[in-house]
Amino acid sequence: MENKEQKYSSDENNTRYKSGNEVVQSNSTEKCHATEIDLDLQDIEGIGPTTAKKLKEAGITSVLGLAVTSAEQLAVDISFSKDTAAAFIVGAQNLLRESNVLEKEFVTADFVLKERKSMLRCSTGSKSLDGLLLGGIETQAVTEFYGEFGSGKSQICHTLCAMASRPQSEKGFDGKVIYVDTEGTFRPERLQQIATARGFNAPEILKNTAICKVYNSTQLELIIKDLGRQINKFKAKLIIVDSVISLHRAEYLGRGTLADRQQRLNSILHKLVRIAEIYNIAVVITNQVQSSPDAFFGDPTKAAGGNVIGHTSTYRIYLRKSGENRIAKMIDSPYHPYSDTSFTINNRGIDDVEDYMNREKLEGLLDPNLQLDTVGGIEENGFNDSKKKYSG
Ligand SMILES: Nc1ncnc2c1ncn2[C@@H]1O[C@H](COP(=O)(O)OP(=O)(O)O)[C@@H](O)[C@H]1O
Ligand SMILES: [Mg+2]
């Protein structure tokens, strides 16, 4: 404690640090997200050099890393009791709050609103999908895209890699991307194509996208555990996990293993939610739909993974094919209206239907708002028919 007092005695936030557990209000000036403050594991109450060493050996190298760990996992990793592990985690979270890195436990709603304003949005590359998401994917949230094979999940992920590099003034994150690929479907050539077609600096974008290929569920769990360190190292603003479920689904077969699988998925998802909030970054995950025999009695359009994923993702979007195009539908969100829209896939990644079909014809002729409104409104047959009619 003494050492921490010294560390922050010249800090302008020091009054906050001393003020204890009062409710934080919107006129306070502290930062709520992880900053570059160099906190040490040993600054946490009850953690000395030996425990700090043990934690580091278990891959937990920072206070933030400890704060986002689950007690069950930590107890196993450092062979302490669950209570002791939980006490360390709470200690880490308290230290982050005291240092104004993490928000206090009780805050007023106006403060939360102000804090939400530090949230950033990144365009998906399609105006219509951005419209569905009220502007794009968000930091401090986990956005889940689910749908059957070929519905465009990985194409959205590739396009986001290109879009995230854009300056914030151009609806990007001005940041780097970590792409966790569990299905082996990431293609650098495709990212290059998308970036080039959009007139972006493709070599730069490829350099700013870190790919992590994962081959089994245990490896995925370890990577998610270590994500905090990688985010700091790579300065990532977007984490993509494509897909979050395939490995667990393939490895945990049969009813006997279901509880174990769900618990492991639950741990991954909760960690992703905490990471998104604490680091003020966006997390995008993809998920499969339930297929036969699971879907035999139920809805074939249900996402796999059951309630575990559904209850943890902040936003869920269901994707399905519709002829050449794709339909995206908002399934679950705390504040988005439950609407749907359509987009297409082309050399620009994901794109707007009209923009693609009428790019040259429409350029400069139509009000952009008009384009947004009409997305999804064109009936394929009607469109084709009229085309036939006029082309002779
Ligand atoms: N360069 C491209 N131009 C047009 N369509 C493409 C291109 N690349 C991929 N696609 C389309 O994207 C679809 C695959 O989408 P994908 O996102 O990989 O599916 P999933 O949902 O399984 O991840 C394919 O049907 C293919 O037609
Ligand atoms: Mg895919």
Confidence of residue 158 (pLDDT cuts 50, 70, 90): very high
Query: Which residue's C-alpha comes closest to atom 17 of ligand 1?
Result: 152
Domain 121-371 architecture: 3-Layer(aba) Sandwich (3.40)
Query: Which residue's C-alpha comes closest to atom 16 of ligand 1?
Result: 152
* Domain ranges in the chain with CATH number 3.40.50.300: 121-371
- Mutation test residue for ligand 1: of 153, 182, 245, 345, the one with most atoms within 8 Å of CB: 345
Q: DSSP assignment, residue 289?
A: B
Centre of ligand 1 to C-alpha 360, Å, is: 23
Centre of ligand 1 to C-alpha 149, Å, is: 9
pLDDT tens digits along 210-227: 999 999 999 999 999 889
Centre of ligand 2 to C-alpha 362, Å, is: 32
Query: Which residue's C-alpha comes closest to atom 13 of ligand 1?
Result: 150
Ligand 1, CB within 6 Å, residue ranges: 147, 149-155, 185, 345-347
Ligand 1 atom with the smallest distance to the CA of 319 is 21
The rounded percent of the chain whose pLDDT value lies above 70 is 77
pLDDT at 5: 37
Higher pLDDT, 1 or 169: 169
Report the pLDDT averaged over residues 38-65: 88
Ligand 1 atom with the smallest distance to the CA of 152 is 17
Centre of ligand 2 to C-alpha 193, Å, is: 17
pLDDT at 370: 46
pLDDT tens digits along 98-152: 877 776 667 778 877 777 778 999 999 999 999 999 999 999 999 999 999 999 9
pLDDT at 293: 53
Centre of ligand 1 to C-alpha 152, Å, is: 6
Closest CA to 52 of 63, 44, 41, 62: 41
* Domain ranges in the chain with CATH number 1.10.150.20: 2-115
- Mutation test residue for ligand 1: of 145, 153, 155, 285, the one with most atoms within 8 Å of CB: 155
**pTM to 2 decimal places:** 0.74
pLDDT at 257: 84
Centre of ligand 2 to C-alpha 11, Å, is: 47
**Ion ligand 2 contact residues with beta carbon within 5 A:** 153-154, 185
CATH class assigned to 2-115: mainly alpha
pLDDT tens digits along 251-261: 898 777 888 88
Confidence of residue 22 (pLDDT cuts 50, 70, 90): very low
Long-range contacts of 218-227 (CB under 8 A, 24+ apart): 220/180, 220/182, 220/247, 220/248, 220/268, 221/264, 221/267, 221/268, 222/59, 223/180, 224/180, 224/268, 224/271, 224/272, 225/59, 225/69, 225/73, 225/271, 226/59, 226/65, 227/178, 227/271, 227/272, 227/275
Amino acid found at 198: R
pLDDT tens digits along 297-332: 545 678 888 777 777 888 999 999 998 899 999 988
Q: Which residues contact 302 (CB under 8 A, 6 or more apart)?
A: 289, 290, 295
